[in-house]
Structure 1
Amino acid sequence: MEQPLYKRIQNDIRRRIQSGELQAGALIPSEKDLAQRYGVSQITSKNALNGLVEEGLLVRYRGKGTFVRELVIPEEPHLQSGAKKTIAIILPTMKTKIDQQLLDGLERYCADRGYDLLIRITRESQEEEYRAIKQFQERGVDGFIIFPVEQESYNNAILRLSLDRVPLVLVDRFLKEIKAYSVSSDNYAGVREAISSLLAAGHMRIAFLSPEITNSVTDERAKGFEAAFMEQGLPIDKTLWCMLDLETIAEGNGQREIVRFLSDQSDITAVFAVNAELARYAHYAIREIWKGAGNEPQLAAFDDPDLDGIPFIRQQLDDVSRRVVDLLSEQLSGTHEPRREVVPVQWIWPNDLDFT
């Protein structure tokens, strides 16, 4: 899908600020100048600037123009030098084993460094995520570890933290337009290896089950699937892709939709689900549709769905947690070198599993 014109203007301005071409306090070209430069209407250029002002990236002064916002470091008079650091951890859910393992690792490595923790579960609500960030800022926390909710765009409060250089590490997500600290599993390589293995085993008709692509995780996993086919010179049949919107999943209708979808795909030989929840729905659907006839498709998943004999991609969550806390500690010590760290994953075939 082609990027909206106002978004292109915004992204260019963000890149110029991030690269240092536009410093804090620099004057931004006028709406008229931007309209001429990008070949758009003045209304479009005005909307672009308005959006960046709302984000807090730019500031307008009547009669003077629009400027890059000066960096303001909030005062924390109640935090004395050398006092124990307080870290806010914001997670979208605690429903899965992955969520629980991740929080366990983060808590353990933070405790090793003597950090106090404040934890908030947003229940996949971007509004709650925004409120949590603001409330923790008001309490004067020293740093943030945030696993963003599954939404099409990142919370403006997260963007603001990154731009203001507040100690922050994003977990399992990364900002494409702004440099920020983040740690994620190797979603792309993991799915590419899994699908390549299925193809090597003779599975040419592979269904792909995923939430709609709204963030870097779902995007990378979809691209890993495509890469495996392209490397073999095989066509990608997207009629075999079942992309579930977030509302359908949140309302508990994911299983029903997967049953409906797979009922129309009698010729598939394998099903790949991008997370454990969808894998469990697919497992139910396969039993319901094929009824153990012996020709049911091979199911595979990203993350362990707790189903015997199902190959899956295993994340190294302890390594993810350790790296997150290391990057946060780096920032708390005064260093600011934003980067993304990617942790390798492991493709587990049934023969590698211990069922004893």
Structure 2
Amino acid sequence: MSDKNTPLYKQIKDYLLNLIDENKHIPNYKLPSENQLALKFNASRISAKSALNSLQDEDLIYRLQGKGTFINSNINSHKQFTKHKIDKESTSLNKDIICMLVPGIDSRFAINIINGAKAYLESTNFKLVLMITDANQNKEKDFIRTSLDLGCKGLIIFPSDNQLYNPEILKLSLNKFPTVLVDRKLEGLDISYVASDHFNSAYQATNYLIDKGHTNIGFISPPPKVASSISERILGYEKALSSSVGLRDQHKLMLPHTLEDRISSIKNYLSKNKDISAIICEGGITGLNLIKIIYSMNLTCPNNIELILYDNEFEQYMDFLPCKPIVIEQNPYDIGYQSAKMVFNLINDNSSSENIIVKENIIFDH
């Protein structure tokens, strides 16, 4: 019987190896399906699929779409045939791992977070296993369960934006499993996080524009969600306006989901708010399109509209832009490094949750 501490992936594989050993002389013996294995071991389908894929890679089984999984009839003794592979795999699986879940790797921000985490863990006995959730909460749930099935010692999670908490993250919090959230904090959950100082960066940026004499300052961003840092930026913007005498009007635009709809909403926003003389906006594609739209309306920056954009995702295009906006730059490498350090400490010290706020830089000149 498998040890309870053995990762579920390995338990499933060992179970299948025994079935193969017992039934290898039966031609085309059919093995349990992914769903059946997941139910039997109370595991995720990903864990069951990983075990089956591993056996298929070793030529112990073959799979026919729509028909099932069968023992390879050419096997004489699977234990002799795969002994060196099993030993090698066991050695690898016995290494301590930390799993890191990120929405994607299509931005410099995410890549630098990953690089920061890897840099810290290189000096430890832990290996970083990266999982891409595609900003999909269902995938995020599956990968959290899979990480636990694999026997990971700790989790670093860059949560997907969603209106509701991921229940798997709630379970991690309740079970005191070593977990660190990246660039997010979930109100009401006792769970560690490392995040940028979103409130103060927006507050300082807005005050900078107020000090320059701007009285109608716009703010463009995706809508705030439960697991989003956007709400803190909005609060910083609102606080700066409310603290300044005579500046009560807020010109917020919460962007729709698709790029086409975002472009349309920005055009309408600028057409209806012709008195706006400065805008704080998220960077990336949205920031680039904002600049393009401003110039298409025969306006210029900063003469007509002064821009402050979040994150320098467009640095490679800077020399080709008609203007050079002020940039609020986060420190993703440090966020990743501090996240890995924090989860390492949680694993080894069994310490209580803690939070780290990483300062952002406002770059006025490029």
* TM-score, length-scaled by structure 1: 0.71
Alignment of 1:328 onto 2:343: yes
Structure 1 counterpart of 2:185, which letter? Answer: F
1:235-250 superposed matches below 5 A: 235-238=247-250, 240-245=251-256, 248-249=257-258
8 Å Cα contact 2:329-2:362 kept in structure 1: yes
Alignment of 1:310 onto 2:325: yes
The answer for the alignment partner of 1:48 in structure 2 is: none
The answer for the alignment partner of 2:171 in structure 1 is: 160
Structure 2 counterpart of 1:213, which letter? Answer: P
The answer for the alignment partner of 1:221 in structure 2 is: 233
The answer for the alignment partner of 1:125 in structure 2 is: 136
State the Cα distance separating 1:100 from its structure 2 match.
1.6
Could you tell me which runs of 5 or more consecutive residues in structure 2 were left unpaired when the two chains were aligned: 8-89
The answer for the alignment partner of 2:5 in structure 1 is: 76
Structure 2 counterpart of 1:290, which letter? Answer: N
Structure 1 counterpart of 2:199, which letter? Answer: Y
Change (3 A) 1:85 1:294: closer
For 1:232 and 1:195, how far apart are their aligned partners in 2?
A: 10
**Which of 1 and 2 has greater Rg?**
2
State the Cα distance separating 1:260 from its structure 2 match.
2.5
State the Cα distance separating 1:261 from its structure 2 match.
1.7
Which of 264, 276, 296 is residue 268 of structure 1 equivalent to?
276
Could you tell me which runs of 5 or more consecutive residues in structure 1 were left unpaired when the two chains were aligned: 1-73
For 2:301 and 2:351, how far apart are their aligned partners in 1?
A: 58
State the Cα distance separating 1:319 from its structure 2 match.
2.1
For 1:252 and 1:331, how far apart are their aligned partners in 2?
A: 44
For 1:256 and 1:109, how far apart are their aligned partners in 2?
A: 43
Structure 2 SS opposite 1:328? helix
1:171-320 superposed matches below 5 A: 171-214=182-225, 215-238=227-250, 240-245=251-256, 248-249=257-258, 252-292=260-300, 295-304=303-312, 305-306=314-315, 307=318, 309-320=324-335
8 Å Cα contact 1:89-1:144 kept in structure 2: yes
For 2:289 and 2:325, how far apart are their aligned partners in 1?
A: 13
CA offsets 1:250-289 (integer angstroms, 9 cap, x no match):
x653223212222222221111103434322211211222
For 1:180 and 1:192, how far apart are their aligned partners in 2?
A: 26
State the Cα distance separating 1:320 from its structure 2 match.
1.4
Which of 311, 332, 352 is residue 337 of structure 1 equivalent to?
352
Change (3 A) 1:264 1:333: same
CA offsets 1:178-210 (integer angstroms, 9 cap, x no match):
211100010000111111101111111111101
Percent identity between matched residues is 24
What is the root-mean-square deviation in Å for CA atoms of aligned residues? 2.3
Alignment of 1:113 onto 2:124: yes
State the Cα distance separating 1:295 from its structure 2 match.
4.3
Change (3 A) 1:301 1:293: closer
* TM-score, length-scaled by structure 2: 0.69
8 Å Cα contact 1:169-1:327 kept in structure 2: yes
Structure 1 SS opposite 2:349? coil
Structure 2 SS opposite 1:207? strand
The answer for the alignment partner of 1:49 in structure 2 is: none
